[in-house]
């Protein structure tokens, strides 16, 4: 039996604390021009850089800006880095300690990882760390850094700076972006983002409910450690080809239960059960997987076939469904060479495959497509002059007839609907065959039999897979064999990445803009275990020993620990000896000395070992404020870090390394002060890592945060200070995850591992750096209201940042929030966040987001009430007309029928006062319920509950003069309205005789059409009374007709508010003198499950069947039934008033939270 995937609960996202810096396009406004700029273009010698009077002299007051552009010319080498950086330190120090200094820029060339090409290791690579540290120590000093492209030969530094100044203005001071990459036309700015989830382990595509592509998201995937059963294979998925059924599946319109999306895949076999002769572990294969849009999947072995290098994974996944569908169709039709065939949707996956197949067997093919560029594409594929329209049925019929002339079609592969089916049948010859692969709006077998005598075959590959898996196995083997013989090849494709743009993949297929297949690449999540020999500089330190131990346990054959001392503590040595299958050796080597490093690498290679990895963990600290840094402190830190990295780079240049890991620091990423030399040195490592990646060499520079028990910050007092700033300590498990991530082929050249408590960390900063703008909304309100509860300013920008963190995307300020990804729980969260910022002195209403449903309206609310706190009692101020007051409208009588059986007015209050729960499962006389759903079938659970009326089928028709035949065709809602409406009139002391001819109005609230749908399925629909029995307009008119009342008779349908709207209309009619009394009634019955199911899919109904309003348990609401009626009369005419209607108002909130 073919395996089927079962839906699973969404796992919680596993935080890896891994971050990368992405460079995003931006437009930075030009600053006001300055009088003049002092451009520094010369690097002083190292011996005179520090303490040089010329270097430290403050610029003249007439200078409008200072530009540090030392060494921009091509040819700056790493050996010059120390001299240039020492001069930059002097300039930065002068800028930060001088109060009246003009704006200063630091300009680099090709030093930052802002481009996919052109990044190199230059003398400027340390400037980023320097400027970030300087801004941390002196926040008033922006000290921006701007990275240019590597200068072209012959271009001077002054020319490059002039071009830059023309774009930004000489007065640019780093506001709002202190860091920028500029390529002459476009600007890019850095933003810290979370690293790809695949670095932390397997991932999968998941959706909570069908209905929208936006419901899709990538989540972590739990690994299945169970052994595969007989005939089952476990898969590592490499690529998945999307089919249109996957789109229909996600949208919830595919017939039946198709399971999770994703079937066609190209994989590696990772494990297999018994009874599988045609596959083995490690094989590359193609076929049909279960929930294949994931790192790990499984399948019935009969649905997989091994492939060779004749197909890439991306090509292979385009074929299983397309080729097998075409193969089945041609087997059913068996057209011969020379026959005319028609291929609908010829530019799709099936269309292109069938065109190639028909060419293989000698058919004359024609195809219809939609967009012009698809016609052009098929012309180049050999169908010039043989393409037709797939948008206009008439144009298609005319064009096809003209192409065929006096001939007719032998075969057609159809996927279209409407007129195209009829036209295609008209073009078939007597023995022609139409194969239908469509799923929606297609003809049934009965319709085909009634209309035509041509042969017709419905092709359903999923049913074939289910019923004859061994036959499908043979077809897949035949597909693989033909690919090996180069008889067929992969289809044209558009490639997408599962983590980056899987939504775009589905929308592309949904919109039909693709030519060929849409393919989703699945990132590799199983890192290649370390192999061969690994060299670890700084290997005897705490972090070096942790790394070496992990390498030995993970599979490295030998690990060389290099250190200046050349010794390891005895206790640590004993631990390393216990690791089997790995040889450890300790080598005395000064990484900063090129000769020592070259000798050490040569010795490793001389032993016949394969140098597979280099790990550079050497480093020392020489902390101090920027004003205390000099050439000696810079050199002390640079020697092991920068010189050591370059020595390793040169010594291992001829070895094809599996990994090259540089141990950098978050001092370069987030600043912090006191480590400007250390941050600059680590910036050089980051630049080297990015440089190697852009040159297709493995490398990752990991910016480590503080470790819990090892490393340079292991001192308890230092750790306590770090944790007080919101930076947590890295555990061994988290560090191991980063080690594994460095072995991934697609990992970034620079990666950060830092455990941040964002709210605490950002709250201690004077303002959120632009680098961390994506996390600005997490800034904690440590002193949100201030000691006296002062009100903070809440702006539109601040609201949009908060919304972005809540919804996960940018929100248009004028778009309704409920249509922009904000749900009811998100609305509560947003209100709480705004309350925290506003402070304790202001009490925001709990309905804030619903009263002001767009970001701009929210901002206007806070702006208008900045001086007048809004309290829960007062609510939001309402602009425009005030609420109208009633002129003595009293309720003289009332009648109700409620779900708990209450009918008399005195019983109505009893359920509320006693806490009666009237919600129960759907009774059997309404509709049949399936067995109890699984706990993870949320939609089924949501649609099982409701508050239902009893005995809605009983009605005294003779009392109201209605015949039994008409009563049976009446909507039960109309019958209830007659009973409860007259009951309210009777309770007010009015008899039928006094009502006849009276100016009494009838105002009904009614919205359910269920009975009309029920009647359409029975003989009632053929009754003469069906039209009046189901009409809402008759619901109000029938009361007036039977009782002889001559006031207004109006039915209102405003959904849940229909009865309130009717009551307001009655009050207004009384005020205007249109009637003497107004009978108001509201009714709602649930006779079919359709509406409840739709609401359940939309997430509107509670899975518990309970309405927990403004409660953290709220997960939707429960639908209910009732019929209530009351009589409104003027104060002078009311006989026995039981209540008063003080006033009412009806308004529309326009472009609001939802339609």
The answer, as to whether pTM is greater than 0.75, is no
Give the lowest-confidence range in 71-75, 327-331, 405-409, 931-935: 71-75
pLDDT mean over 956-972: 89
DSSP 767: S
pLDDT at 718 over 60: no
Higher pLDDT among residues 904 and 677, named by residue: 677
Distances (CA, A) of 420 to 204, 243, 431, 511: 38, 21, 19, 20
- Give the per-residue pLDDT at 52: 37
* Mean pLDDT, residues 455-471 taken together: 84
Can you tell me the distance from the alpha carbon of 351 to that of 364, in angstroms, rounded to the nearest whole number? Answer: 14
Residue 102 has pLDDT above 80, yes or no: no
Least confident of 61-65, 316-320, 759-763, 1107-1111: 61-65
Q: CATH topology for 20-190?
A: Rossmann fold (3.40.50)
Q: 354-358, 641-645, 1002-1006: which has the highest mean pLDDT?
A: 1002-1006
Please give the CATH superfamily to which domain 202-318+494-521 belongs. Medium-chain alcohol dehydrogenases, catalytic domain (3.90.180.10)
Residue 820 has pLDDT above 80, yes or no: no
| pLDDT above 80 (res 29) | no
Classify burial at 394, counting beta carbons within 10 Å of its beta carbon; exposed 0-12, middle 13-18, buried 19 or more: exposed
> In the predicted model, what is the mean pLDDT of residues 614-643?
89
Count of other CB atoms within 10 angstroms of residue 685: 30
pLDDT score recorded for residue 881 = 33
Q: Which of 270, 310, 272, 265 is nearest to 286 (CA)?
A: 265
Backbone angles phi, psi at 20, to 5 degrees: -135, 155
What are the domain boundaries of the chain? 20-190, 202-318+494-521, 320-458, 533-753, 781-864, 888-1108+1117-1141
Please tell me the class of the 320-458 domain.
alpha beta
Q: Please give the pLDDT value at position 786.
A: 38
Per the DSSP assignment, residues forming a β-bridge with 895 are: 1125
The pLDDT of residue 973: 93
Where residue 480 falls among pLDDT bands split at 50, 70, 90?
A: very high
The answer on pLDDT for 215 being more than 50 is yes
pLDDT of residue 13: 55
Dihedral sign computed on CA atoms, order 293, 299, 304, 306: positive
Across residues 570-584, what is the average pLDDT? Answer: 87
pLDDT of residue 49: 39
Output the average pLDDT for the chain. Answer: 82
Average pLDDT estimate for 57-64: 56
Q: Is the pLDDT of residue 573 over 60?
A: yes
HSE toward the beta carbon, residue 144, CA cutoff 13 A = 26
pLDDT above 80 (res 933): no
Per-residue pLDDT averaged across 727-736, rounded?
A: 89
Q: Which of 384, 323, 321 is nearest to 353 (CA)?
A: 323
Which superfamily does 888-1108+1117-1141 belong to? Answer: Thiolase/Chalcone synthase (3.40.47.10)
* Bridge partners for 66 per DSSP: 38, 104
**pLDDT confidence bin for 258, thresholds 50/70/90:** confident
Confidence of residue 672 (pLDDT cuts 50, 70, 90): confident
1010: three-class secondary structure by DSSP: helix
The 364-369 sheet, strands edge to edge: 387-389, 364-369, 340-343, 409-414, 428-436, 455-458
Domains 20-190 and 202-318+494-521 belong to one CATH topology: no
pLDDT for residue 873 is more than 90: no
In this predicted structure, the answer to whether residue 607 has a pLDDT above a threshold of 90 is no
In eight-state DSSP terms, residue 1022 is: G
Percent residues over pLDDT 70 in the chain: 84
pLDDT category, 161, cuts 50, 70, 90?
confident
Count of C-beta atoms within a 10 Å radius of residue 600: 21
Most confident of 293-302, 821-830, 868-877: 293-302
pLDDT at residue 75 above 70?
Answer: no
CATH topology of domain 533-753: Rossmann fold (3.40.50)
CA angle 191, 193, 194 (to 5 degrees): 170
Measuring CA to CA, which residue among 383, 399, 736, 379 is closest to residue 543?
736
* Residue 30 CB-half CA count within 13 A: 11
Q: What's the pLDDT band for 874 if we cut at 50, 70, 90?
A: very low
- What is the mean predicted confidence (pLDDT) over 723-752? 86
Bridge partners of residue 344, in order along the sequence: none
At 48 the pLDDT is 39
Q: Which two tokens stand for residue 850?
A: 């619903």
pLDDT of residue 296: 93
Homologous superfamily of the 781-864 domain (CATH): ACP-like (1.10.1200.10)
The pLDDT of 165-179, averaged and rounded, is: 76
Per-residue model confidence as pLDDT tens digits over 107-155: 888 776 666 555 555 667 888 889 888 888 777 777 888 888 776 666 7
- In this prediction, residue 875 has a pLDDT band, given cuts at 50, 70 and 90, of very low
Pairing of strands 1077-1084, 1122-1130: antiparallel
Q: Given a cut of 60, is residue 521 above it in pLDDT? A: yes
Question: In which element (H, E) is residue 1095 found?
Answer: helix 1090-1097
Q: In 3D, which of 946, 954, 944, 945 has the Cα closest to residue 903?
A: 954
1078 pLDDT tier (thresholds 50, 70, 90):
very high
């Amino acid at each position: 039996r073919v395996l089927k995937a079962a839906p699973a609960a969404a796992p919680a996202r596993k935080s890896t604390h891994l971050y990368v810096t992405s460079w995003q396009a931006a437009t930075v406004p030009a600053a006001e021009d300055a009088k003049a700029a002092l451009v520094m273009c010369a690097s002083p010698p190292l011996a005179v850089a520090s303490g040089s009077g010329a270097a430290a002299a403050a610029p003249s007051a007439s200078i409008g800006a200072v530009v540090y552009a030392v060494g921009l010319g091509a040819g700056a080498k790493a050996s010059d880095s120390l001299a240039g950086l020492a001069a930059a330190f002097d300039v930065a120090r002068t800028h930060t300690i001088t109060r009246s200094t003009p704006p200063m820029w630091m300009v680099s060339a090709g030093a930052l990882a802002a481009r996919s090409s052109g990044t190199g290791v230059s003398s400027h690579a340390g400037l980023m760390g320097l400027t970030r540290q300087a801004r941390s120590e002196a926040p008033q000093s922006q000290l921006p850094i701007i990275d240019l492209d590597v200068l072209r030969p012959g271009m001077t530094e002054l020319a490059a700076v002039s071009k830059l100044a023309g774009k930004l203005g000489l007065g640019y001071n780093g506001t709002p972006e202190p860091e920028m990459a500029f390529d002459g036309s476009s600007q890019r700015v850095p933003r810290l983002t979370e690293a790809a989830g695949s670095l932390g382990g397997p991932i999968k595509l998941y959706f909570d409910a069908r209905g929208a592509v936006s419901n899709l998201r990538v989540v972590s995937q739990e690994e299945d450690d169970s052994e595969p059963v007989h005939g089952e294979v476990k898969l590592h998925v490499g690529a998945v080809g999307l089919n249109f059924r996957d789109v229909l599946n996600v949208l919830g319109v595919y017939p039946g239960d198709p399971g999770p999306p994703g079937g066609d895949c190209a994989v590696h076999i990772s494990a297999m059960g018994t009874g599988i002769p045609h596959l083995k572990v490690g094989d590359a294969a193609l076929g049909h997987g279960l929930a294949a849009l994931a790192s790990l999947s499984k399948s019935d072995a009969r649905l997989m076939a091994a492939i060779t290098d004749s197909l890439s994974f991306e090509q292979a996944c385009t074929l299983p469904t397309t080729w097998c569908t075409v193969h089945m169709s041609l087997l059913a039709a068996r057209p011969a060479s020379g026959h005319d065939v028609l291929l609908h949707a010829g530019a799709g996956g099936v269309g292109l495959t069938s065109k190639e197949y028909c060419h293989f067997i000698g058919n004359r093919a024609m195809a219809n497509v939609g967009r012009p560029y698809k016609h052009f594409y098929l012309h180049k594929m050999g169908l010039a002059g043989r393409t037709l329209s797939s948008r206009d049925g008439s144009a298609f019929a005319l064009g096809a007839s003209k192409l065929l002339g006096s001939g007719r079609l032998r075969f057609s592969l159809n996927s279209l609907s409407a007129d195209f089916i009829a036209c295609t049948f008209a073009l078939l010859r007597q023995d022609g065959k139409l194969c239908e692969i469509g799923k929606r709006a297609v003809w049934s077998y009965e319709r085909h039999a009634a209309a035509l005598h041509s042969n017709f075959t419905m092709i359903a590959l999923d049913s074939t897979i289910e019923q004859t898996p061994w036959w499908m196995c043979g077809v897949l083997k035949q597909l693989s064999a033909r690919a090996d013989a180069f008889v067929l090849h992969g289809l044209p494709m558009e490639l997408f990445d599962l983590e980056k743009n899987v939504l775009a993949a589905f929308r592309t297929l949904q919109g039909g803009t693709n030519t060929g297949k849409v393919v989703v690449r699945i990132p590799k999540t199983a890192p290649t275990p370390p192999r061969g020999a690994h060299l670890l500089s700084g290997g005897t330190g705490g972090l070096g020993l942790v790394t070496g131990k992990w390498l030995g346990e993970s599979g490295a054959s030998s690990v060389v620990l290099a250190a200046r001392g050349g010794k390891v503590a005895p206790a640590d040595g004993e631990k390393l000896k216990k690791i089997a299958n790995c040889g450890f050796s300790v080598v005395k080597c000064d990484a900063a000395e090129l000769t020592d490093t070259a000798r050490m690498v040569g010795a490793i290679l001389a032993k016949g070992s394969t140098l597979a990895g280099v790990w550079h963990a050497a480093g020392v600290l020489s902390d101090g404020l920027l004003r205390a840094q000099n050439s000696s402190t810079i050199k002390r830190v640079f020697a092991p870090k920068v010189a050591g990295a370059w020595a390793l780079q040169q010594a291992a240049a001829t070895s094809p390394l599996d990994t090259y890991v540089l141990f950098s620091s978050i001092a370069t990423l987030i600043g912090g002060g006191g480590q400007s030399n250390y941050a600059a040195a680590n910036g050089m490592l980051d630049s080297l890592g990015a440089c190697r990646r852009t040159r297709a060499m493995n490398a990752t520079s990991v910016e480590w945060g503080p470790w819990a028990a090892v490393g340079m910050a292991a001192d308890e007092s230092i750790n306590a200070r770090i944790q007080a700033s919101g930076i947590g300590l890295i555990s061994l498990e988290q560090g191991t995850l980063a080690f594994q991530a460095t072995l991934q082929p697609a990992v970034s050249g620079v990666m950060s591992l830092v455990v941040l408590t964002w709210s605490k960390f950002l709250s201690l900063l004077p303002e959120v750096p632009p680098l961390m703008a994506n996390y600005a909304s997490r800034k904690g309100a440590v002193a949100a209201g201030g000691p006296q509860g002062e009100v903070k300013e809440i702006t539109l920008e601040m609201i949009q940042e908060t919304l972005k963190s809540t919804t996960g995307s940018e929100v248009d300020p004028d778009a309704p929030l409920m249509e922009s990804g904000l749900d009811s729980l998100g609305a509560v969260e947003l209100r709480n966040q705004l309350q925290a910022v506003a402070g304790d002195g202001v009490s925001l209403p709990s309905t804030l987001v619903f009263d002001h449903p767009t970001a701009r309206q929210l901002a206007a609310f806070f702006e208008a009430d900045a001086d007048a706190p809004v309290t829960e009692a007062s609510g939001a101020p309402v602009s425009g007309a005030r609420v109208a007051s009633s002129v003595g409208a009293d309720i003289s009588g009332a009648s109700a029928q409620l779900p708990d059986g209450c009918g008399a007015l005195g019983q109505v209050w009893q359920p509320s006062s006693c806490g009666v729960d009237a919600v129960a499962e759907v009774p059997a006389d309404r509709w049949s319920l399936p067995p109890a759903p699984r706990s993870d079938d949320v939609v089924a659970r949501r649609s099982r509950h409701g508050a239902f009326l009893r005995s809605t089928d009983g009605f005294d028709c003779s009392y109201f003069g209605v015949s039994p035949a008409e009563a049976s065709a009446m909507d039960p809602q109309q019958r209830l309205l007659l009973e409860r409406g007259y009951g309210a009139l009777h309770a007010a002391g009015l008899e039928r005789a006094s009502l006849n001819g009276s100016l009494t109005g009838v105002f009904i609230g009614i919205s359910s059409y269920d009975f009309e749908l029920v009647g359409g399925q029975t003989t009632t629909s053929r009754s003469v009374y069906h039209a009046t029995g189901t009409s809402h307009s008759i619901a109000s008119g029938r009361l007036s007709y039977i009782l002889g009342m001559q006031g207004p008779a109006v039915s209102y349908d405003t959904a849940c508010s229909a009865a309130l709207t009717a009551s307001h209309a009655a009050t207004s009619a009384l005020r205007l003198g249109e009637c003497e009394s107004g009978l108001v009634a509201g009714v709602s019955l649930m006779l079919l499950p359709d509406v409840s199911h739709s609401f359940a899919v939309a997430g509107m109904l509670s899975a518990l069947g309970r309405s927990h309003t403004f409660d953290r348990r709220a997960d939707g609401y429960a639908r209910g039934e009732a019929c209530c009626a009351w009589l409104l009369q003027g104060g002078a005419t009311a006989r026995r008033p039981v209540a008063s209607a003080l006033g009412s108002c009806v308004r529309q909130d326009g472009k609001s939270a939802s339609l």
